[in-house]
Structure 1
Amino acid sequence: MTLKITIPGKQSGSTFSQLRLFLCFLMYCWVLADPACGYFLKNCTIRGNLSDTSNMKVLCYNRNLEVIPIAIPRKVSNLDLAMNNISKIEKLDFKGLSNLKILNMSRNQISQVDDGALGHLEALQELGLAHNRLTTLSDHLFQGLANLSLLHLDNNLIATISSSSFQLLSSLKTVNLTKNNLYNMKEVQPIVQLPHLHELYIGSNRFTSFQSQEISNTSIELRLLDLSRNPLGIFRITADVLPYLEVLDIAYCGQLGHMEWDVLDRSFLRNVNRLNLSGIEMSFERMGMVLQTVNSSLVHLRLHDLVNSSRLKIKALTDIACRIPTLSVLRLEYNNIGNLSEEFLQSCKHLTEVDISDTGLTQLSDFSFRSIEQLSALKLGHNRLSFVPKATKNLPTLKILDLSFNIINKLGCSDFSNLTELTQLIIFHNQIPNLLGCVFQDLKELRILKMGSNKILTLNDAFMNALHKLEALNLAGNKLSSIRKGEFKSLTSLKTLLLFDNQIASMEDGAFEGLVNLTELKLGSNKITQIGIRNTVLMGLPLLKSLDISCNYITYVNDDKLNPPPFSHLTSLENLRIFSQRHKGLSHLPINFLEGLKSLLSFQAGSLNIKELYPDTFIYTPRLWFLDISKNEFTALTPKLFHPIPRLNSLYLTKARIQSLDFLIGANLSRVTLLQVSKNDITVVNETVLRSLPALTYLDMQDNAFTCGCSDAWFVQWIESDNQTQVVGAGEFTCNYPADLKDTKLLDVELQFCIVRLGLYYYISTTCLVLLTLIASFAYHFLKWQVIYGYYLFLAFLYDTKQRNKHTPHGCQYDAFISYNAHDEPWVLRELLPELEGEQGWKLCLHHRDFQPGKPIIDNIMDGIYGSRKTICVISRRYLESEWCSREIQVASFRLFDEQKDVLILVFLEEIPTHQLSPYHRMRKLVKRRTYLSWPRAGVHTGVFWQQLRLALETKDGSSEENPILSGVQAL
């Protein structure tokens, strides 16, 4: 049989190459990746996360920054750097922020912007540079901002604008240059020429004239032009350059004492529908000309604060304005009108909205608005009216009436009797002490009633039989002391009821009866001590979603169950607020306080003096999403408290005297994205705690007493490298312990020696794994059989060592152990056995005859070899392919090498070329170094062979050098 050595083919070699390339690629990618791409940004707050950057905001406003922070996330879309002390924008400050769409740098000290510094912001749409110290807009200032649509440059010191500054801003729609030092209209010419510019604000500058030839020779797209608060001496339009203008603001112009109006053709301003002439320094005649210019399109006119105009001039201007057939809104705030006569608005027949707030009105003629047949909105706020003027009674079309901030001290039954179309009534901040039951009886269409900040003591059935369509009622800031049963029973459409900041101490059972559509009820800042005795106060509110009972006097002496629970009927409630001032806290939260609130999503219970919460507190609120229990005195909480609310997303525990966050471990808060535990007594943050919050994206731990040592080393590393959770204000975390580090910034403490550099170990282990894989693949590809042979040699070595430890120094049991293959057994029995045992008298060990039955084969082999002086290996091709023969020769060769005795004799039954000898049996080296005998070919005399074999058996167990016959000579 031919000896075969298997060599891997092309397919296995290809697989090996692919595997090697794949592993190398993975390792390359890992090395290139930036494992420290963190979510922490010193002195800034991030809204959003690194995995979804479409709406990411970085908020760095009001942080006393002097330079633009480095390491701003590259994918940020909104960056707010307002209210800092930044003085310069350098060329590389915004490099890489190609996704930025909104940049706000208002209210800084910026006086210099390097050319090209904004050029990296190719996606920018809104830029805020207001309230800085810019003096010049250079040629390349806005280079690269082709997508910019909104630009704020107001409140700077800009006096010069380069002719090419705005040349490339083709998408710009709104520019605000209010309150600068511009004095020549030609400075803004490059701006108004932009193809898509719609709004230009250049008020509060130094322009002394506005002349159309200074800005353009052709029509422009401008829709809004604000020239207010400029010392304009002349406004002149000689060509149709503003055909699309809709809003013109020239309020408080003419500050040099006069202003001329020169518009040659009325059609030049044919589309102006909103005009502001407030506080303008212009003669009555010129103002009349202005109004005549826009008399074909004007809809909205402001004539505020005409301080130098008498009441008669205001009346005359009003008459001119009201003759404009398109005018519908007239605002006369901040004028000194005094008493409003019947004639004042006599010509204003087409108006739908009149605003005469803050005009010093004390009384109105009963027919002041008689001529205004379509009046729908009347604003009389901030005056000195002491009662509802009769003039409002004869306005059947009125929908909005504003009487706020007057001194009205009484409402009569007929005050609103004819206002059958009224939808909004605002009597906020007056001095009304009570309500009559008939006062609102005719307001059948009223939707909104605002009566807050009065002095109402009782409601007197005012809401028992009227206002069936009312949707919002504001009674906050009054002096109500109680709510009687059925007080609001006629308000079946009411959705919002505001009763906060009163003096309500009691509410009768059924107090809110009839409010079947109420969704929001605010009872905060009152004197309520309990929510009903029989649990019927809040009955009849099936759709209530938001309840605020904060800052009351509700208290409980222990945590015992309430019978009945206060909110058991509010099955639709989603938001409950019971915040309080510390001296008014609940002290104890009863076990079943939240029973019945199966729809509750938000629970705000701060400042209640609560020291602990019963573990089953939230078993009634399985949908809870937002929990704020800040400003209590918990010290510690239990994980079981949070088990019933697995959907919790936001948890606020500010100033709650928490000493450890270990209660979060096992709390089942896998959905929490926001955790605020600022102003507590936390010293160390455990890694296990943060790992228990896998969805956390926002962590606020400011103002805690950190112990700066190796216990916080992992936390510091996590702050700087985690790419999911933003740690707010981490740059300001300070050490409290040890004393020598007190007030030191946590991130400035050297903790590197504490940190196990897992990244390095990962790199080393990965590299070793790759190298081991490559070596194993190489060995399998080229040294497969040598490896297998080495493996079996190692097993033989183990067997040899074991046997040697048990071996005794007594004589051997056999002269020779015969190692042969079963196919060669006939030769052994017919030739070898008769000659060696029969003729020469040697005692041989043969496995078929002398192995002990039931004993493991390998043990029999070991006993046979070590129990014999010599081992004769009968070699044939079948022998080389036999596993057990391989084991036998391995054991014998190890005995040879270990004991340094010539105990191995090789007998070849057939001729096998040395290059075909399998490395699996290490035969090549044995043949070269040891004695071997060949069985003669057929027909050749065997005497010499047996003689050589007898000599080999007779030699002592010395080294081969002491036995010349065993020196590798092949028998003839």
Structure 2
Amino acid sequence: MKTEIAMPLRGICFCSFGILYLFLNSYIRPTTGYVMKNCWVTQNAKADCRKFGFKVFPKDIPARVTKILLQGNNISKLNERDLENLPNLLYIDLSHNLISKIDSGSFVRQISLEVLHLENNKLRNIQEGMFDGLVHLTLLWLNFNQIQTVAPASFKSLSKLMILGLGHNKLHNLANILQHTPHLHSLIIAANEMSTFHSWELSNKSTELVTLDLSQNELMAFRLTADIFPNLTRLNLEDSIENGIVWEMNDTSYLSSVSELDISGVRSSLHGLQDVLETINSSLSYLKLNHVNNNLQALINISCKNPLLSGFEIRNNGIKHIRPDMLHLCTNLKLLDIGSNEITEISNKSFQSLRQLHTLIIHSNRLTSVPHAIRNTQISKLDLSCNNISVIDCDDFANMTGLKVLHLYKNHLSVLKDCVFKDLVNLKELMLQNCSIDQLNGALKKNMPNLIHLSLLNNQLTVLDHGEFKALNSLQNLTLEGNKLNKLKNGTFFGLSSLTHLSLQSNEITEISNGAFADLKALKTLNLNCNHLKYASVERISYPPFVELSQLDTLLFTAQKKIHKRALPQNFLHGLTNLSVLDIRGNEFASLHPHTFNYTPNLNELILSQNDITDIPDNLFSPIQKLKSLWISQTNLRSLDFLLHANLTELEFLQVGKNVFSVIREPVMLSLTALNILDMKGNSFTCNCDNAWFLQWVISNKQTQVVDAYNFECNYPPNLKGRKLLEIGLSSCTVDMGFIFYISTACTVIMTIAVSFTHHFLQWHLVYAYYLMLAILYNSKNKDKRAHQKDAFVSYNTNDEGWVLGELLPKLEDEQGWRLCLHHRDFQPGEEPYPEHPLHLH
């Protein structure tokens, strides 16, 4: 009976312990959280791992990531398992590493990948299997490696590849490049070591190539024996045509689709180059003839005989004087770029024959005045930037009513005359930055009703007169950054009813007069960074500066220069009901009034960093419940408890780095239900049980990424100072009630099963044990109350009487000294037969 009971009990105990062990083992195993070493994942599923010194591919990038930036590290090899857990990748940049080897099958799971950057590495050979799996790749960039060979089937998976960059390598031929890439549109093989181009090396059938870059290859022979380029429109041969080049084509129509040709830096004879041009002239519309120097005029004449030529670049040729006969054959030009020369003079009739010209670029020359020759044109875009022009006269742009774009930046125009733009009634873009202008003199008060973009960046303006821009009622973008304006007066922006973007950054503005922005009803973005604005108190001001800007979306108000008693009045933002982005970092504000954001209910991004706001009022953020991004780094915050009262249930990004708090409480983090990114870089932490919950949360939570958490350091206690927070074991601090409840429940279930089993199979043994226990207790309780007369009562059947009297009685009484009570000998009628004998012998 014992044996039958013992085996099931052992089985139950072993099974229960096994289940418990398995659960415990799975429960205490560290979970994979969202914290990453060095990298961080943005809200649009992009992993930014740039310049972190990685020597191997990082292993902790989440599988949901679609874009990875890993440029600027020290990765030397890609193994076949490095990317196996990243099936959703669409874009990966591994440029500027030390990659010399990529194992076969490394990208086999990246079937969705579309863009792969591997430029600036140390690859020497493209081997078979290296790009297996990349069936949807459209762009592969392998420039600036040391590639010498391409294996025959190395691109066999790249059936959808459209752009391939192999420039600046050590290729000697083009074999195997187009064998498996039928849809390739752009092939860049610039600056290799090819001395010949043979079409049969590239392909023996028609391709879809649109762009072919063979520049910087010092070609001695170009042989095209088949019509493999029916769609080629752009051919770059810059610095590739050597003297004595063999230019052979079985049919001159093989390049009949080329419309853009770059033969800059040619070192060929005029005759050799003429052969090149004559084979392409039938379709050529845009020609680059830069840094040629020799035979320039003859090449210009040959080129301009082509009636289809509409765009012509002649840069970096050392031209000093444009004469009338230089371009007289270029009658069909629409764009002429003679920038980056040394031009000091342009004859009056130099452009007279260019009747169709609409874009004229003369930037980066040595002109001292606006050339008279432009008045004889019908151009719509003129670039005179980076010259030595010091004065613009009233007739310099006379009758140029068709001009739409005018670039005059980086000249020396200290003073403008009020008549200089009088005929530019259709001008849309005027660039006057870096011109040392200190007075506008009414030049913008009239005549340009269609102007949309105006840049006066980095000039010397100190004052803007009333109505200075009154004629610019179509203006949308105005840049006044980097001047010396000190006061914005009422009426300064009169007439700018369409203005949407205004930059006043880096001036010396100390005051904004009442109604200074009253005319800017359509303004969306206002940049007031780096000025001298100040307010002495957080109390209300009589006239808030932005009260009329109800459409303003973005206000930048950072780094006002250091002036004593700087504060932000509580109604400073009054009127900004549509404000979405507010940046007031770097102002040394000591506090913010609780009502500061009462006027901005639609605020989406708020930057408060680099101030001295040690304590934030509990209700400061209550009016801005739509807030999604909050920056409060470098503000000497002592606690994050203010977030408990903020109710920021839509907050997705929080940056609170470089502050002085060292403990993160659980309710704070749990209140931010939508938080995706938490940036605490630069903080130090208390490494004891006060932060035990936070440490566990950083490692195990699946929603919020804690940026750079592996580099968080301990500041307290002293013996742990400088240690990494995530290296400190605080498991003894954690009391997990859920785990305790599980253990209690498991024990109860196991006990219930054991009791039920025992009751079913051992019921009568339990009853017997119960009564035996009672007897033992009774005997123990009464053994000292009376003496025993007999040691045992012998109960027997009459058939056993002979054995009892003949053997048992002599043995126990005579030999052992027992006193037995026998029924026929010692029993007294009327009394209990064995009232004092606990032992019965049957």
Q: 1:372 aligns to what?
A: 354
AA partner of residue 207 (structure 2): I
Change (3 A) 1:961 1:490: farther
Shift of 1:156: 0.9
Change (3 A) 1:775 1:711: closer
> What does residue range 407-806 of structure 1 map to in structure 2 within 5 Å?
407-532=388-513, 535-580=514-559, 583-584=562-563, 587-756=566-735, 758=736, 762=738, 765-766=741-742
Change (3 A) 1:296 1:685: same
Shift of 1:34: 9.8
Q: 2:260 aligns to what?
A: 274
2:187 to 172, 193, 200: 200
Q: Does 1:323 align with 2:302?
A: no
Q: 2:291 aligns to what?
A: 305
In 1: Cα distance, 2:654 partner to 2:490 partner:
39
Q: Does 1:286 align with 2:275?
A: no
Larger radius of gyration: 1
Shift of 1:298: 1.3
Shift of 1:329: 1.0
AA partner of residue 548 (structure 1): N
CA RMSD of aligned residues (A): 3.1
* Counterpart contact for 1:253–1:259, Cα < 8 Å: no
Change (3 A) 1:775 1:369: farther
In 1: Cα distance, 2:714 partner to 2:613 partner:
23
* Counterpart contact for 1:484–1:507, Cα < 8 Å: no
Q: How big is each residue's C-alpha offset from its partner over 1:85-135, in whole Å with a ceiling of 9 and x where there is no partner?
A: 111112211122222222211111111222222223222222211111111
AA partner of residue 640 (structure 1): N
SS in 2 for 1:762: helix
Q: How big is each residue's C-alpha offset from its partner over 1:32-90, in whole Å with a ceiling of 9 and x where there is no partner?
A: 99993422111101023xxxxxx521111110011111122122211221110111112
Shift of 1:193: 5.0
Q: 1:337 aligns to what?
A: 319
Q: 2:39 aligns to what?
A: 44
Change (3 A) 1:509 1:190: closer
Q: 1:221 aligns to what?
A: 208
> What does residue range 232-271 of structure 1 map to in structure 2 within 5 Å?
232-254=219-241, 258-271=244-257
> What does residue range 387-402 of structure 1 map to in structure 2 within 5 Å?
387-396=369-378, 398-402=379-383
SS in 2 for 1:290: helix
Shift of 1:778: 13
In 2: Cα distance, 1:223 partner to 1:762 partner:
65
* Counterpart contact for 2:644–2:671, Cα < 8 Å: yes
In 2: Cα distance, 1:768 partner to 1:376 partner:
86
In 1: Cα distance, 2:145 partner to 2:384 partner:
40
* Counterpart contact for 2:153–2:180, Cα < 8 Å: no
> What does residue range 810-959 of structure 1 map to in structure 2 within 5 Å?
none
Shift of 1:206: 0.4
Change (3 A) 1:32 1:321: farther
Change (3 A) 1:751 1:141: same
Q: How big is each residue's C-alpha offset from its partner over 1:520-550, in whole Å with a ceiling of 9 and x where there is no partner?
A: 1111111111101xx1211111111111111
> What does residue range 104-123 of structure 1 map to in structure 2 within 5 Å?
104-123=93-112
Q: 1:231 aligns to what?
A: 218
* Counterpart contact for 2:155–2:180, Cα < 8 Å: no
In 2: Cα distance, 1:752 partner to 1:773 partner:
28
Q: How big is each residue's C-alpha offset from its partner over 1:895-927, in whole Å with a ceiling of 9 and x where there is no partner?
A: x99x99xxxxxxxxxxxxxxxxxxxxxxxxxxx
In 2: Cα distance, 1:779 partner to 1:498 partner:
86
SS in 2 for 1:665: helix
* Counterpart contact for 1:582–1:609, Cα < 8 Å: no
Runs of 4+ in 1 over 4 A off after TM superposition: 30-35, 766-780, 959-962
1:383 to 365, 389, 404: 365
Shift of 1:569: 1.5
* Counterpart contact for 2:433–2:458, Cα < 8 Å: yes
Change (3 A) 1:179 1:778: same
AA partner of residue 662 (structure 2): T
* Counterpart contact for 2:433–2:457, Cα < 8 Å: yes
In 1: Cα distance, 2:497 partner to 2:685 partner:
52
AA partner of residue 379 (structure 1): I
In 1: Cα distance, 2:28 partner to 2:158 partner:
37
SS in 2 for 1:715: helix
Change (3 A) 1:554 1:586: farther
AA partner of residue 232 (structure 2): L
Q: Determine what percentage of the aligned residue pairs are the same residue.
A: 38
AA partner of residue 38 (structure 1): G
AA partner of residue 459 (structure 1): L
In 2: Cα distance, 1:695 partner to 1:350 partner:
61
Shift of 1:652: 1.0
In 2: Cα distance, 1:34 partner to 1:382 partner:
66
Unaligned runs of 5+ in 1: 1-23, 49-54, 784-895, 901-958, 963-972
In 1: Cα distance, 2:287 partner to 2:477 partner:
34
In 1: Cα distance, 2:357 partner to 2:82 partner:
56
Shift of 1:159: 1.1
In 2: Cα distance, 1:653 partner to 1:509 partner:
34
Unaligned runs of 5+ in 2: 1-18, 760-773, 779-831, 836-842
* Counterpart contact for 2:532–2:561, Cα < 8 Å: no
* Counterpart contact for 1:586–1:609, Cα < 8 Å: no
In 2: Cα distance, 1:224 partner to 1:116 partner:
30
- Equivalent pairs counted in the alignment come to 755
AA partner of residue 98 (structure 2): Q
SS in 2 for 1:731: helix
In 1: Cα distance, 2:709 partner to 2:129 partner:
38
* Counterpart contact for 2:173–2:197, Cα < 8 Å: no
Shift of 1:325: 2.1
AA partner of residue 96 (structure 2): R
In 2: Cα distance, 1:462 partner to 1:775 partner:
96
In 1: Cα distance, 2:546 partner to 2:609 partner:
22
* Counterpart contact for 1:118–1:144, Cα < 8 Å: yes
Q: Which is worse superposed, 36-45 or 331-340?
A: 36-45
Change (3 A) 1:354 1:224: same
Q: Counting helix residues as a fraction of each chain, which structure ranks higher?
A: 1
In 1: Cα distance, 2:460 partner to 2:229 partner:
56
Shift of 1:667: 1.3
Q: 1:355 aligns to what?
A: 337
AA partner of residue 483 (structure 1): L
In 2: Cα distance, 1:98 partner to 1:464 partner:
60
